[in-house]
A = this chain, B = another copy of it.
Amino acid sequence: MKQNIYDDSTFANEYDTMRKEKKGTNANDIIEIPNFRKMVPDVNGKSILDLGCGYGENDKYYKEKGATYVLGIDISKHMIDEANKENKVPGVDFDVLPMEEISTLDKKFDIVISSLAFHYIKDFDKLVKDIYDLLNKDGYLIFSQEHPLITCFNPVENMKKSHIEVDGKYYGVFSDYNRNGERKKDWFDKQVIKYHRSFAYIVNTLIKAGFTIEEISEPVPSEDGIKANPKYINQFDRPYFLIIRVRK
């Protein structure tokens, strides 16, 4: 079953608050967004498909950077409503569509992007093949996800968080790294299902589908980012995110 937590109203409220009221100090704004954008090639004259577009910020951004057309899709009607309110500009469309169903789209794209959504997807192999088929020749896929060192962790009673402090030093804690599959995580008031895949599994799946690996990032914040939220110095100890650019 496809998971659609962002249409749960309590969850959506909490998420909206985190992203909007903490704008500029959350991990998305400080770590993920700037590093993701560094990995995206020149979009001038290119068509873009955004999988799990959320609020659609990236879609408006890349349209303004010269993309000819951007289609943002998301499983959540709440997110697409927000995207239409906030980031709808000419040449950008938003549609409610789970990324598990992109093979139903009737056009091809030069660039596929996806920000922090793939860890919700059960069948990564199928998704990667579908993206490959949707891309024009020499097309790019750039995606970010929670880092495998985060996704692997199974919270249990006496080890609820995937980090500890010893003598003031931050340590990541992990287990089950080479056991791919479902993980149940608490996020706000909900239990969210995410899928763990090891680094090797992710990279090998992309290669087997026909992609060439171009660049990998386990991003850290800039100096300004650390000033905005000093706790993210912890990204030097343990990255939250993984960003990958591959080419067809």
Q: Which positions in A face B, CB cutoff 8 Å? A: 149, 156-159, 164, 166-167, 169-179, 198-200, 203-204, 207, 212-218, 220, 235-239
Known: A173-B164, A175-B238. A218 touches B203 (CB 8 A): no
Question: Complex formed: what's the CA distance from A123 to B204 in Å?
Answer: 27
- Asked if residues B175 and A172 are in contact (CB atoms below 8 Å), the reply is yes
- Asked if residues A167 and B174 are in contact (CB atoms below 8 Å), the reply is no
- Asked if residues A199 and B216 are in contact (CB atoms below 8 Å), the reply is yes
In the complex, residue of chain B having the shortest beta-carbon distance to the beta carbon of A198: B218
Closest chain B CB from A5 CB (angstroms): 27
- Asked if residues A216 and B238 are in contact (CB atoms below 8 Å), the reply is no
Residues in B with CB closer than 8 Å to A149 are 149, 174, 177
Residues in B with CB closer than 8 Å to A159 are 166-167, 169, 171
Closest chain B CB from A183 CB (angstroms): 14
Residues in B with CB closer than 8 Å to A235 are 178
Question: Complex formed: what's the CA distance from A203 to B218 in Å?
Answer: 11
Contact of A173 among B156, B172, B220 (CB under 8 A): B172
- Asked if residues B178 and A218 are in contact (CB atoms below 8 Å), the reply is yes
Contact of A213 among B175, B179, B203, B220 (CB under 8 A): B203
- Asked if residues A218 and B177 are in contact (CB atoms below 8 Å), the reply is yes
Question: Complex formed: what's the CA distance from A215 to B207 in Å?
Answer: 8
